[in-house]
Structure 1
Amino acid sequence: MAVSKGKYIKLQGKKWSTFQLSKMIMALVLALGFFMLIALRFFSPPETSHHRLPSVRRTAFQSDGLGKRGDQWVEFISWEPRAFVYHNFLSKEECLYLISLAKPHMEKSTVVDSKTGKSVDSRVRTSSGMFLNRGQDKIISNIEKRIADFTFIPIEHGEGLQILHYEVGQKYDAHYDYFVDEYNIKKGGQRMATLLMYLSDVEEGGETVFPAAKGNFSSVPWWNELSECGKGGLSVKPKMGDALLFWSMKPDATLDPTSLHGACPVIRGNKWSCTKWMHVNKYI
Protein backbone atom coordinates (compact mmCIF):
# COMPACT_ATOMS: atom_id res chain seq x y z
CA MET A 1 0.00 0.00 0.00
CA ALA A 2 1.47 3.33 -1.08
CA VAL A 3 1.68 6.18 1.41
CA SER A 4 1.62 9.76 0.15
CA LYS A 5 4.68 11.86 0.78
CA GLY A 6 4.84 14.02 3.87
CA LYS A 7 2.51 11.87 6.01
CA TYR A 8 5.15 10.89 8.53
CA ILE A 9 5.44 11.52 12.28
CA LYS A 10 8.81 11.51 14.00
CA LEU A 11 8.86 9.63 17.35
CA GLN A 12 12.09 9.17 19.35
CA GLY A 13 14.27 9.78 16.31
CA LYS A 14 12.36 7.40 13.99
CA LYS A 15 9.89 8.22 11.24
CA TRP A 16 6.50 6.50 11.48
CA SER A 17 3.97 6.61 8.66
CA THR A 18 0.32 7.26 9.48
CA PHE A 19 -0.40 3.74 8.23
CA GLN A 20 2.18 2.23 10.62
CA LEU A 21 0.78 4.24 13.52
CA SER A 22 -2.78 3.12 12.77
CA LYS A 23 -1.65 -0.52 12.70
CA MET A 24 0.10 -0.10 16.06
CA ILE A 25 -2.95 1.55 17.64
CA MET A 26 -5.23 -1.21 16.30
CA ALA A 27 -2.93 -3.88 17.79
CA LEU A 28 -3.04 -2.13 21.18
CA VAL A 29 -6.85 -1.94 21.06
CA LEU A 30 -7.10 -5.66 20.25
CA ALA A 31 -4.67 -6.54 23.04
CA LEU A 32 -6.65 -4.42 25.52
CA GLY A 33 -9.87 -6.14 24.47
CA PHE A 34 -8.27 -9.54 24.96
CA PHE A 35 -7.12 -8.72 28.49
CA MET A 36 -10.55 -7.36 29.34
CA LEU A 37 -12.13 -10.66 28.27
CA ILE A 38 -9.63 -12.56 30.43
CA ALA A 39 -10.45 -10.31 33.40
CA LEU A 40 -14.19 -10.85 32.95
CA ARG A 41 -13.62 -14.62 32.68
CA PHE A 42 -11.70 -14.99 35.92
CA PHE A 43 -13.17 -12.19 38.04
CA SER A 44 -16.87 -12.39 37.31
CA PRO A 45 -19.26 -12.17 40.30
CA PRO A 46 -20.65 -15.41 41.74
CA GLU A 47 -24.07 -16.60 40.61
CA THR A 48 -25.54 -15.60 43.98
CA SER A 49 -24.16 -12.06 43.82
CA HIS A 50 -27.62 -10.51 44.25
CA HIS A 51 -27.53 -11.89 47.81
CA ARG A 52 -23.99 -10.75 48.55
CA LEU A 53 -21.76 -7.73 48.88
CA PRO A 54 -19.48 -6.83 45.93
CA SER A 55 -17.15 -9.73 45.15
CA VAL A 56 -14.81 -11.26 42.58
CA ARG A 57 -14.51 -14.90 41.62
CA ARG A 58 -11.82 -17.31 40.45
CA THR A 59 -12.56 -20.59 38.71
CA ALA A 60 -11.68 -23.70 40.73
CA PHE A 61 -8.40 -25.35 39.80
CA GLN A 62 -5.94 -27.89 41.18
CA SER A 63 -4.42 -26.47 44.36
CA ASP A 64 -0.72 -25.60 44.47
CA GLY A 65 -0.67 -27.23 47.89
CA LEU A 66 -2.15 -30.27 49.61
CA GLY A 67 -5.51 -31.46 48.25
CA LYS A 68 -7.86 -29.63 45.92
CA ARG A 69 -9.62 -26.37 46.74
CA GLY A 70 -13.17 -25.63 45.70
CA ASP A 71 -14.51 -22.56 43.93
CA GLN A 72 -12.44 -19.56 45.04
CA TRP A 73 -13.66 -16.00 45.24
CA VAL A 74 -12.97 -12.88 47.27
CA GLU A 75 -15.75 -11.02 49.06
CA PHE A 76 -15.33 -7.42 50.17
CA ILE A 77 -17.00 -6.82 53.55
CA SER A 78 -15.72 -3.47 54.84
CA TRP A 79 -13.67 -0.37 54.05
CA GLU A 80 -13.39 0.73 57.69
CA PRO A 81 -11.48 -1.40 58.47
CA ARG A 82 -10.42 -2.76 55.10
CA ALA A 83 -11.54 -6.39 55.27
CA PHE A 84 -12.01 -9.16 52.71
CA VAL A 85 -13.00 -12.84 52.88
CA TYR A 86 -11.20 -15.22 50.50
CA HIS A 87 -13.48 -18.25 50.19
CA ASN A 88 -11.74 -21.65 49.93
CA PHE A 89 -8.29 -20.18 50.51
CA LEU A 90 -7.23 -23.53 52.02
CA SER A 91 -8.25 -27.04 51.07
CA LYS A 92 -9.84 -29.38 53.61
CA GLU A 93 -6.66 -31.45 53.56
CA GLU A 94 -4.52 -28.41 54.36
CA CYS A 95 -6.79 -27.47 57.27
CA LEU A 96 -6.58 -30.96 58.76
CA TYR A 97 -2.82 -31.05 58.20
CA LEU A 98 -2.28 -27.80 60.13
CA ILE A 99 -4.45 -29.06 63.00
CA SER A 100 -2.51 -32.34 63.13
CA LEU A 101 0.81 -30.46 63.30
CA ALA A 102 -0.41 -28.27 66.15
CA LYS A 103 -2.31 -30.72 68.39
CA PRO A 104 0.70 -32.24 70.21
CA HIS A 105 2.16 -28.80 71.04
CA MET A 106 -0.78 -26.65 72.17
CA GLU A 107 -0.27 -24.31 75.15
CA LYS A 108 -2.40 -21.62 76.78
CA SER A 109 -2.48 -18.51 74.60
CA THR A 110 -0.86 -15.30 75.81
CA VAL A 111 -1.16 -11.59 74.99
CA VAL A 112 1.47 -8.88 74.49
CA ASP A 113 2.01 -6.62 77.51
CA SER A 114 1.79 -3.02 76.26
CA LYS A 115 4.49 -1.80 78.70
CA THR A 116 7.14 -4.51 78.36
CA GLY A 117 6.26 -5.96 74.95
CA LYS A 118 6.52 -9.47 76.39
CA SER A 119 3.94 -12.28 76.25
CA VAL A 120 1.86 -12.71 79.41
CA ASP A 121 -1.17 -14.74 80.51
CA SER A 122 -4.49 -12.88 80.46
CA ARG A 123 -8.17 -13.59 81.04
CA VAL A 124 -9.04 -11.67 77.88
CA ARG A 125 -7.67 -14.57 75.82
CA THR A 126 -8.65 -18.07 76.89
CA SER A 127 -7.72 -20.17 73.84
CA SER A 128 -4.73 -22.46 73.36
CA GLY A 129 -2.18 -22.14 70.59
CA MET A 130 1.28 -22.74 69.16
CA PHE A 131 3.58 -21.30 66.47
CA LEU A 132 4.97 -23.02 63.38
CA ASN A 133 8.30 -22.04 61.90
CA ARG A 134 8.24 -19.98 58.74
CA GLY A 135 8.87 -22.32 55.79
CA GLN A 136 8.75 -25.33 58.13
CA ASP A 137 7.93 -27.76 55.32
CA LYS A 138 6.74 -27.76 51.71
CA ILE A 139 3.05 -27.52 52.61
CA ILE A 140 3.65 -24.56 54.95
CA SER A 141 5.82 -22.87 52.31
CA ASN A 142 3.06 -23.24 49.70
CA ILE A 143 0.52 -21.66 52.05
CA GLU A 144 2.89 -18.80 52.89
CA LYS A 145 3.51 -18.15 49.19
CA ARG A 146 -0.25 -18.14 48.58
CA ILE A 147 -0.64 -15.56 51.37
CA ALA A 148 2.07 -13.37 49.83
CA ASP A 149 0.45 -13.62 46.38
CA PHE A 150 -2.94 -12.61 47.81
CA THR A 151 -1.77 -9.75 50.04
CA PHE A 152 1.20 -8.51 47.96
CA ILE A 153 3.25 -8.58 51.18
CA PRO A 154 6.55 -10.51 50.88
CA ILE A 155 6.88 -13.80 52.75
CA GLU A 156 9.85 -12.38 54.68
CA HIS A 157 7.59 -9.72 56.22
CA GLY A 158 5.37 -12.31 57.91
CA GLU A 159 5.61 -14.03 61.27
CA GLY A 160 5.34 -17.80 61.51
CA LEU A 161 1.84 -19.24 61.34
CA GLN A 162 0.03 -19.42 64.69
CA ILE A 163 -2.51 -22.23 65.18
CA LEU A 164 -5.32 -21.50 67.67
CA HIS A 165 -7.95 -23.72 69.29
CA TYR A 166 -11.10 -22.47 71.05
CA GLU A 167 -13.30 -24.85 73.03
CA VAL A 168 -16.82 -24.07 74.29
CA GLY A 169 -16.80 -20.81 76.25
CA GLN A 170 -13.33 -19.76 75.11
CA LYS A 171 -12.86 -16.37 73.43
CA TYR A 172 -10.54 -13.42 72.82
CA ASP A 173 -11.80 -10.00 73.87
CA ALA A 174 -11.58 -7.05 71.46
CA HIS A 175 -8.00 -5.95 70.82
CA TYR A 176 -5.68 -4.49 68.18
CA ASP A 177 -3.08 -6.48 66.26
CA TYR A 178 -0.81 -3.45 65.88
CA PHE A 179 1.75 -2.68 68.58
CA VAL A 180 1.95 0.25 70.99
CA ASP A 181 5.35 -0.75 72.43
CA GLU A 182 8.84 -0.21 70.97
CA TYR A 183 10.09 -3.72 71.78
CA ASN A 184 8.00 -5.55 69.16
CA ILE A 185 8.24 -2.86 66.49
CA LYS A 186 12.02 -3.39 66.37
CA LYS A 187 11.54 -6.91 65.00
CA GLY A 188 10.00 -5.87 61.69
CA GLY A 189 8.21 -2.59 62.07
CA GLN A 190 4.51 -2.25 62.75
CA ARG A 191 2.05 -5.04 62.02
CA MET A 192 0.15 -3.82 58.97
CA ALA A 193 -2.22 -6.70 58.13
CA THR A 194 -3.58 -9.99 59.44
CA LEU A 195 -4.77 -13.05 57.56
CA LEU A 196 -7.00 -15.24 59.73
CA MET A 197 -7.61 -18.68 58.21
CA TYR A 198 -10.46 -20.84 59.55
CA LEU A 199 -9.46 -24.49 59.87
CA SER A 200 -12.87 -25.76 60.99
CA ASP A 201 -16.55 -24.91 60.95
CA VAL A 202 -18.14 -23.87 64.26
CA GLU A 203 -21.66 -25.00 65.08
CA GLU A 204 -22.51 -21.82 66.99
CA GLY A 205 -20.52 -18.77 68.07
CA GLY A 206 -16.81 -18.23 67.52
CA GLU A 207 -17.26 -15.35 65.09
CA THR A 208 -14.56 -12.77 64.39
CA VAL A 209 -16.18 -9.46 65.34
CA PHE A 210 -15.14 -5.86 64.61
CA PRO A 211 -17.05 -3.76 67.17
CA ALA A 212 -15.63 -0.43 65.94
CA ALA A 213 -16.23 -1.05 62.22
CA LYS A 214 -18.27 1.47 60.26
CA GLY A 215 -21.08 0.37 57.98
CA ASN A 216 -24.25 -1.67 57.79
CA PHE A 217 -23.38 -4.77 59.83
CA SER A 218 -26.59 -6.62 58.95
CA SER A 219 -25.75 -6.51 55.22
CA VAL A 220 -23.54 -9.59 55.47
CA PRO A 221 -25.39 -12.64 54.08
CA TRP A 222 -24.67 -14.71 57.19
CA TRP A 223 -26.28 -12.18 59.60
CA ASN A 224 -29.09 -14.48 60.76
CA GLU A 225 -26.57 -17.20 61.67
CA LEU A 226 -24.61 -15.00 64.11
CA SER A 227 -24.62 -15.25 67.89
CA GLU A 228 -25.52 -12.25 70.06
CA CYS A 229 -21.81 -11.46 70.39
CA GLY A 230 -21.46 -11.65 66.62
CA LYS A 231 -24.26 -9.12 66.17
CA GLY A 232 -22.27 -6.62 68.25
CA GLY A 233 -20.40 -5.39 65.18
CA LEU A 234 -19.24 -6.43 61.73
CA SER A 235 -18.71 -10.20 62.00
CA VAL A 236 -17.41 -13.12 59.99
CA LYS A 237 -18.65 -16.64 60.74
CA PRO A 238 -15.91 -19.31 60.69
CA LYS A 239 -16.02 -21.70 57.72
CA MET A 240 -13.37 -24.33 57.06
CA GLY A 241 -10.97 -23.15 54.36
CA ASP A 242 -12.04 -19.48 54.30
CA ALA A 243 -9.55 -16.71 55.11
CA LEU A 244 -10.26 -13.23 56.49
CA LEU A 245 -7.79 -10.48 55.52
CA PHE A 246 -7.96 -7.21 57.41
CA TRP A 247 -5.59 -4.27 57.62
CA SER A 248 -4.41 -2.70 60.87
CA MET A 249 -3.00 0.28 58.99
CA LYS A 250 -4.66 2.68 56.60
CA PRO A 251 -3.30 3.34 53.08
CA ASP A 252 -1.60 6.48 54.46
CA ALA A 253 0.36 4.25 56.90
CA THR A 254 -1.47 5.50 60.01
CA LEU A 255 -2.93 3.02 62.49
CA ASP A 256 -6.58 2.13 61.94
CA PRO A 257 -8.65 2.16 65.17
CA THR A 258 -11.57 0.50 63.36
CA SER A 259 -9.44 -2.66 63.11
CA LEU A 260 -10.35 -3.42 66.74
CA HIS A 261 -11.50 -7.05 66.71
CA GLY A 262 -12.20 -10.05 68.91
CA ALA A 263 -13.13 -13.72 68.86
CA CYS A 264 -16.65 -14.38 70.17
CA PRO A 265 -17.08 -17.25 72.64
CA VAL A 266 -17.68 -20.67 71.10
CA ILE A 267 -21.20 -21.79 72.06
CA ARG A 268 -21.31 -25.19 70.37
CA GLY A 269 -18.51 -27.16 68.75
CA ASN A 270 -14.79 -26.39 68.43
CA LYS A 271 -12.97 -23.64 66.59
CA TRP A 272 -9.57 -24.09 64.95
CA SER A 273 -7.90 -21.18 63.18
CA CYS A 274 -4.53 -20.13 61.81
CA THR A 275 -3.16 -16.59 61.95
CA LYS A 276 -0.51 -14.89 59.83
CA TRP A 277 0.63 -11.44 61.01
CA MET A 278 2.44 -9.29 58.43
CA HIS A 279 4.77 -6.35 59.07
CA VAL A 280 5.87 -3.21 57.26
CA ASN A 281 9.47 -4.43 57.12
CA LYS A 282 11.24 -7.80 56.98
CA TYR A 283 10.40 -9.72 60.16
CA ILE A 284 13.42 -10.92 62.11
Structure 2
Amino acid sequence: MSRTNVSADAKQWILNRMLAGAGSDQVVAELMAAGWQRKAATDALAVVVAENPRARVAVAANDTPAEGMPEPGIAQMPLSLDAGDREVQVLIEMKSPRVVVFGNLLGADECAALIEAAKPRMARSETVNRQTGEYQIDVARTSRGMFFQRGESELHLRIENRIAKLLNWPAENGEGLQVLHYQPGAEYEPHYDYFDPADPGTPALTRRGGQRVASLIIYLNTPSNGGATTFPDVGLSVLPQCGNAVFFSYPQPQPSTKTLHAGAPVVAGEKWIATKWLRQRVFA
Protein backbone atom coordinates (compact mmCIF):
# COMPACT_ATOMS: atom_id res chain seq x y z
CA MET A 1 0.00 0.00 0.00
CA SER A 2 1.50 3.31 -1.01
CA ARG A 3 0.94 6.20 1.39
CA THR A 4 2.25 9.57 0.36
CA ASN A 5 0.51 11.51 3.16
CA VAL A 6 1.26 10.74 6.78
CA SER A 7 -1.78 10.92 9.03
CA ALA A 8 -1.62 12.24 12.57
CA ASP A 9 -2.37 8.74 13.87
CA ALA A 10 0.47 7.25 11.83
CA LYS A 11 2.87 9.92 13.07
CA GLN A 12 1.89 9.24 16.67
CA TRP A 13 2.31 5.50 16.19
CA ILE A 14 5.78 5.95 14.71
CA LEU A 15 6.77 8.28 17.54
CA ASN A 16 5.47 5.85 20.16
CA ARG A 17 7.45 2.99 18.65
CA MET A 18 10.64 5.06 18.62
CA LEU A 19 10.12 6.16 22.23
CA ALA A 20 9.64 2.49 23.11
CA GLY A 21 13.13 1.72 21.80
CA ALA A 22 12.49 0.62 18.21
CA GLY A 23 15.23 1.53 15.73
CA SER A 24 14.60 2.95 12.27
CA ASP A 25 14.92 -0.42 10.54
CA GLN A 26 12.45 -2.00 12.95
CA VAL A 27 9.88 0.80 12.47
CA VAL A 28 10.13 0.55 8.69
CA ALA A 29 9.83 -3.24 8.83
CA GLU A 30 6.72 -3.04 11.00
CA LEU A 31 5.11 -0.51 8.66
CA MET A 32 5.86 -2.75 5.68
CA ALA A 33 4.37 -5.71 7.54
CA ALA A 34 1.22 -3.60 7.92
CA GLY A 35 1.05 -3.04 4.14
CA TRP A 36 3.15 0.05 3.55
CA GLN A 37 5.62 0.22 0.66
CA ARG A 38 9.23 0.68 1.73
CA LYS A 39 9.56 4.22 0.30
CA ALA A 40 6.33 5.36 1.96
CA ALA A 41 7.44 3.89 5.28
CA THR A 42 10.88 5.49 5.03
CA ASP A 43 9.39 8.85 4.07
CA ALA A 44 6.92 8.72 6.96
CA LEU A 45 9.72 8.01 9.40
CA ALA A 46 11.71 10.94 8.00
CA VAL A 47 8.72 13.26 8.44
CA VAL A 48 8.32 12.30 12.10
CA VAL A 49 12.04 12.74 12.79
CA ALA A 50 12.09 16.12 11.05
CA GLU A 51 9.04 17.42 12.91
CA ASN A 52 9.59 16.10 16.41
CA PRO A 53 12.66 16.78 18.59
CA ARG A 54 11.81 13.77 20.79
CA ALA A 55 11.92 11.56 17.70
CA ARG A 56 15.36 12.91 16.79
CA VAL A 57 16.66 12.06 20.25
CA ALA A 58 15.07 8.60 20.08
CA VAL A 59 16.46 7.73 16.65
CA ALA A 60 19.93 8.84 17.71
CA ALA A 61 19.77 6.56 20.74
CA ASN A 62 18.00 3.60 19.14
CA ASP A 63 20.11 3.45 15.99
CA THR A 64 23.40 3.68 17.85
CA PRO A 65 24.73 0.22 18.73
CA ALA A 66 24.74 -0.41 22.46
CA GLU A 67 28.18 -0.24 24.04
CA GLY A 68 28.24 -3.80 25.27
CA MET A 69 25.94 -5.79 27.49
CA PRO A 70 26.09 -6.98 31.07
CA GLU A 71 28.37 -10.00 30.91
CA PRO A 72 30.55 -11.83 33.44
CA GLY A 73 34.16 -12.38 32.43
CA ILE A 74 33.95 -16.10 31.77
CA ALA A 75 35.42 -16.36 28.26
CA GLN A 76 38.23 -18.52 29.65
CA MET A 77 35.77 -20.69 31.62
CA PRO A 78 37.01 -19.88 35.15
CA LEU A 79 35.60 -21.82 38.08
CA SER A 80 35.13 -18.60 40.07
CA LEU A 81 35.17 -14.84 39.60
CA ASP A 82 36.43 -11.96 41.73
CA ALA A 83 33.36 -9.89 42.68
CA GLY A 84 35.33 -7.39 44.73
CA ASP A 85 34.65 -8.50 48.28
CA ARG A 86 34.15 -12.24 47.65
CA GLU A 87 34.80 -15.02 45.15
CA VAL A 88 31.69 -16.10 43.27
CA GLN A 89 31.53 -19.58 41.74
CA VAL A 90 30.53 -20.18 38.12
CA LEU A 91 28.30 -23.26 38.14
CA ILE A 92 26.51 -23.32 34.76
CA GLU A 93 26.98 -21.39 31.52
CA MET A 94 24.69 -21.41 28.48
CA LYS A 95 25.06 -19.43 25.25
CA SER A 96 21.47 -19.34 23.96
CA PRO A 97 19.72 -18.14 25.93
CA ARG A 98 22.56 -16.36 27.67
CA VAL A 99 22.35 -17.91 31.12
CA VAL A 100 24.95 -18.14 33.87
CA VAL A 101 24.33 -19.72 37.27
CA PHE A 102 26.47 -18.41 40.13
CA GLY A 103 27.25 -19.96 43.50
CA ASN A 104 28.03 -18.05 46.71
CA LEU A 105 26.94 -14.66 45.37
CA LEU A 106 25.48 -13.82 48.79
CA GLY A 107 26.35 -15.18 52.20
CA ALA A 108 23.68 -16.76 54.37
CA ASP A 109 23.84 -13.75 56.71
CA GLU A 110 23.23 -11.35 53.82
CA CYS A 111 20.29 -13.42 52.59
CA ALA A 112 18.74 -13.44 56.05
CA ALA A 113 19.29 -9.68 56.43
CA LEU A 114 17.53 -8.93 53.13
CA ILE A 115 14.57 -11.10 54.11
CA GLU A 116 14.23 -9.44 57.51
CA ALA A 117 14.47 -5.95 55.99
CA ALA A 118 11.82 -6.82 53.41
CA LYS A 119 9.25 -8.52 55.68
CA PRO A 120 7.59 -5.37 57.09
CA ARG A 121 7.04 -3.97 53.58
CA MET A 122 5.67 -7.04 51.78
CA ALA A 123 2.48 -6.81 49.70
CA ARG A 124 0.82 -8.82 46.92
CA SER A 125 3.19 -8.80 43.91
CA GLU A 126 2.20 -6.77 40.88
CA THR A 127 2.92 -6.98 37.16
CA VAL A 128 3.11 -4.27 34.52
CA ASN A 129 -0.10 -3.32 32.72
CA ARG A 130 1.03 -3.51 29.08
CA GLN A 131 -1.50 -0.89 27.98
CA THR A 132 -0.72 1.81 30.53
CA GLY A 133 2.75 1.00 31.88
CA GLU A 134 1.35 0.99 35.43
CA TYR A 135 1.71 -1.84 37.94
CA GLN A 136 -1.28 -3.98 38.91
CA ILE A 137 -2.14 -7.27 40.64
CA ASP A 138 -2.22 -10.21 38.21
CA VAL A 139 -3.47 -13.76 38.79
CA ALA A 140 -0.37 -15.03 36.92
CA ARG A 141 1.81 -13.88 39.82
CA THR A 142 0.87 -15.25 43.22
CA SER A 143 3.86 -14.16 45.31
CA ARG A 144 4.26 -11.27 47.72
CA GLY A 145 6.99 -8.70 47.23
CA MET A 146 8.50 -5.25 47.68
CA PHE A 147 11.13 -2.97 46.14
CA PHE A 148 14.17 -1.52 47.87
CA GLN A 149 15.58 1.77 46.69
CA ARG A 150 19.01 1.44 45.10
CA GLY A 151 21.67 2.10 47.73
CA GLU A 152 19.07 2.13 50.50
CA SER A 153 21.53 0.81 53.10
CA GLU A 154 25.11 -0.30 53.48
CA LEU A 155 23.98 -3.86 52.80
CA HIS A 156 22.32 -2.85 49.55
CA LEU A 157 25.34 -0.82 48.43
CA ARG A 158 27.64 -3.75 49.11
CA ILE A 159 25.48 -6.18 47.13
CA GLU A 160 24.92 -3.73 44.26
CA ASN A 161 28.66 -3.03 43.93
CA ARG A 162 29.36 -6.78 43.99
CA ILE A 163 26.84 -7.36 41.20
CA ALA A 164 28.26 -4.46 39.17
CA LYS A 165 31.76 -5.91 39.30
CA LEU A 166 30.58 -9.44 38.62
CA LEU A 167 28.51 -8.49 35.55
CA ASN A 168 30.69 -5.61 34.30
CA TRP A 169 27.74 -3.21 34.34
CA PRO A 170 27.43 0.10 36.23
CA ALA A 171 25.51 -0.12 39.50
CA GLU A 172 23.56 3.01 38.54
CA ASN A 173 22.21 1.18 35.47
CA GLY A 174 20.23 -1.15 37.71
CA GLU A 175 16.86 -0.98 39.39
CA GLY A 176 16.62 -1.43 43.13
CA LEU A 177 16.44 -5.00 44.41
CA GLN A 178 12.97 -6.54 44.45
CA VAL A 179 12.38 -9.18 47.14
CA LEU A 180 9.69 -11.79 46.52
CA HIS A 181 8.20 -14.41 48.83
CA TYR A 182 6.54 -17.57 47.52
CA GLN A 183 4.54 -19.83 49.85
CA PRO A 184 3.44 -23.37 48.91
CA GLY A 185 1.55 -23.31 45.63
CA ALA A 186 2.70 -19.79 44.71
CA GLU A 187 4.26 -19.32 41.28
CA TYR A 188 4.96 -16.87 38.47
CA GLU A 189 3.75 -18.08 35.08
CA PRO A 190 6.02 -17.88 31.97
CA HIS A 191 6.91 -14.30 31.02
CA TYR A 192 9.64 -12.04 29.65
CA ASP A 193 11.36 -9.38 31.74
CA TYR A 194 11.88 -6.86 28.93
CA PHE A 195 9.21 -4.32 28.03
CA ASP A 196 7.53 -5.30 24.76
CA PRO A 197 8.10 -2.44 22.25
CA ALA A 198 4.65 -3.13 20.78
CA ASP A 199 2.85 -2.39 24.06
CA PRO A 200 1.32 1.09 24.46
CA GLY A 201 2.61 1.32 28.03
CA THR A 202 6.26 0.72 27.16
CA PRO A 203 7.29 4.36 26.53
CA ALA A 204 6.29 5.23 30.09
CA LEU A 205 8.42 2.38 31.42
CA THR A 206 11.54 3.07 29.35
CA ARG A 207 11.79 6.78 30.15
CA ARG A 208 13.79 5.86 33.24
CA GLY A 209 16.94 4.08 32.08
CA GLY A 210 15.78 2.65 28.75
CA GLN A 211 15.02 -1.02 28.21
CA ARG A 212 15.81 -3.82 30.57
CA VAL A 213 18.71 -5.82 29.11
CA ALA A 214 19.39 -8.46 31.76
CA SER A 215 18.06 -10.05 34.94
CA LEU A 216 19.70 -11.52 38.02
CA ILE A 217 17.61 -13.70 40.34
CA ILE A 218 19.23 -14.34 43.72
CA TYR A 219 17.95 -17.16 45.93
CA LEU A 220 17.68 -16.04 49.55
CA ASN A 221 16.75 -19.45 50.96
CA THR A 222 16.40 -23.09 49.90
CA PRO A 223 12.80 -24.39 49.65
CA SER A 224 12.10 -27.95 50.72
CA ASN A 225 10.71 -28.80 47.27
CA GLY A 226 9.86 -26.94 44.06
CA GLY A 227 10.33 -23.29 43.19
CA ALA A 228 12.78 -23.71 40.29
CA THR A 229 13.39 -20.93 37.78
CA THR A 230 12.47 -22.55 34.46
CA PHE A 231 13.25 -21.59 30.86
CA PRO A 232 10.54 -23.41 28.85
CA ASP A 233 12.03 -22.68 25.41
CA VAL A 234 15.20 -24.64 26.19
CA GLY A 235 14.06 -27.07 28.90
CA LEU A 236 16.31 -25.59 31.60
CA SER A 237 15.45 -25.57 35.30
CA VAL A 238 17.61 -23.79 37.87
CA LEU A 239 16.98 -25.12 41.36
CA PRO A 240 16.94 -22.54 44.16
CA GLN A 241 19.86 -22.79 46.57
CA CYS A 242 20.48 -20.17 49.25
CA GLY A 243 23.10 -17.63 48.12
CA ASN A 244 23.15 -18.79 44.49
CA ALA A 245 21.85 -16.75 41.55
CA VAL A 246 20.88 -17.09 37.90
CA PHE A 247 21.79 -14.38 35.39
CA PHE A 248 20.28 -14.07 31.91
CA SER A 249 20.47 -11.32 29.32
CA TYR A 250 18.43 -10.26 26.28
CA PRO A 251 20.13 -7.83 23.86
CA GLN A 252 16.86 -7.23 22.01
CA PRO A 253 13.34 -7.13 23.49
CA GLN A 254 12.27 -10.11 21.40
CA PRO A 255 11.21 -13.73 22.00
CA SER A 256 14.17 -14.81 19.83
CA THR A 257 16.35 -14.28 22.92
CA LYS A 258 14.70 -17.44 24.35
CA THR A 259 14.45 -15.78 27.76
CA LEU A 260 10.88 -16.84 28.46
CA HIS A 261 11.04 -17.95 32.08
CA ALA A 262 8.85 -18.80 35.04
CA GLY A 263 8.93 -19.35 38.76
CA ALA A 264 7.69 -22.91 39.20
CA PRO A 265 5.22 -23.57 42.05
CA VAL A 266 6.68 -24.08 45.49
CA VAL A 267 5.74 -27.62 46.56
CA ALA A 268 6.95 -27.59 50.15
CA GLY A 269 8.46 -24.93 52.37
CA GLU A 270 8.81 -21.37 51.09
CA LYS A 271 10.97 -19.47 48.62
CA TRP A 272 12.56 -16.04 49.00
CA ILE A 273 14.35 -14.38 46.08
CA ALA A 274 15.83 -10.98 45.25
CA THR A 275 15.63 -9.84 41.64
CA LYS A 276 17.91 -7.25 40.04
CA TRP A 277 16.95 -5.84 36.64
CA LEU A 278 19.63 -4.10 34.60
CA ARG A 279 18.83 -1.22 32.24
CA GLN A 280 20.51 0.24 29.16
CA ARG A 281 21.28 3.51 30.89
CA VAL A 282 21.26 5.14 34.31
CA PHE A 283 18.05 4.28 36.15
CA ALA A 284 16.92 7.33 38.10
TM tier relative to shorter chain: 0.5 to 0.7
The answer on whether the counterparts of 1:189 and 1:281 sit within 8 Å (CA) in structure 2 is yes
1:138-157 pair list within 5 angstroms: 138-157=154-173
Cα displacement (A) at 1:58: 3.1
- Among 98, 105, 111, the alignment partner of 2:114 is 98
Deviation at 1:152, TM superposition (A): 1.1
RMSD over equivalenced CA pairs, Å:
2.3
Q: Counterpart in 1 of 2:147? A: 131
Letter in 1 for 2:264: C
Structure 2: which amino acid aligns with 1:167?
A: Q
Q: How many residues of Structure 1 are paired with residues of Structure 2 in the alignment?
A: 206
Q: What secondary structure does 2:102 align onto?
A: strand
- Does the 8 Å contact 1:249/1:256 carry over to 2? no
Aligned to 1:31: none
Question: Within 2, Cα distance between the matches of 1:255 and 1:170?
Answer: 25
Q: Where does residue 78 of structure 2 map in the other structure? A: 56
Cα separation, 1, equivalents of 2:241 and 2:117: 20
> Which SS does the other structure have where 1:93 is aligned?
helix
Aligned pairs for 1:82-97 (under 5 A) are 82-97=98-113
Equivalent residues of 1:206, 1:263 under 8 A apart: yes
In the TM superposition, 1:260-271 aligns within 5 A as 260-271=260-271
Identity %: 39
Rounded to whole Å, the distance in 1 between the matches of 2:134 and 2:81 is 44
Corresponding residue for residue 118 of structure 1:
134
Deviations 1:107-149 (A, max 9, x none): 0000001111110111100000001111111111010000100
1:80 to 96, 99, 106: 96
Partner of 2:215: 194
Q: Secondary structure at the match of 2:247?
A: strand
5 Å-filtered alignment, 1:13-24, equals: none
Residue aligning to 2:239: 237
Partners in 2 of 1:112 and 1:207 — Cα distance?
Answer: 22
CA deviation string 1:128-184 (max 9, x = no partner)? 000111111111101000010011110111000000000000000000000022111
* SS of 1:165 mapped into structure 2: strand
Q: 1:236 to 1:95 in 2, by over 3 A?
A: same
Q: For residue 160 of structure 2, what is the amino acid of its counterpart?
A: E
Give unmatched runs, 5+ long, in structure 1: 1-42, 45-53, 214-232
Structure 2 residue identity aligned to 1:240: C
Instruction: Check the 8 A contact 2:143/2:187 in 1, yes or no.
Output: yes
CA contact (8 A) 1:249 1:255 kept: no
1:282 aligns with 2:277: no
State the Cα distance separating 1:248 from its structure 2 match: 2.2
The structural deviation recorded for 1:55 is 5.1
The gaps in structure 2 that reach 5 residues or longer are 1-72, 197-201
AA partner of residue 235 (structure 1): S
For 1:57, give the aligned amino acid.
Answer: L
User: Residues 112 and 59 from structure 1, CA distance in 2 versus in 1: closer, same or farther, beyond 3 angstroms?
Assistant: closer
Q: 1:80 offset after TM fit, Å?
A: 1.4
Structure 2 partner of 1:108: 124
TM-score after normalising by structure 1: 0.68
Where in structure 2 are the equivalents of 1:199-278 lying within 5 Å?
199-213=220-234, 233-249=235-251, 256-278=256-278
3-state secondary structure, aligned to 1:259: coil
Deviation string 1:38-63 (CA, Å, 9 cap, x unpaired) is: xxxxx99xxxxxxxxx95223899x8
Which has the higher Rg, Structure 1 or Structure 2? 1
Dislocated runs of 4+, deviation >6 Å: none
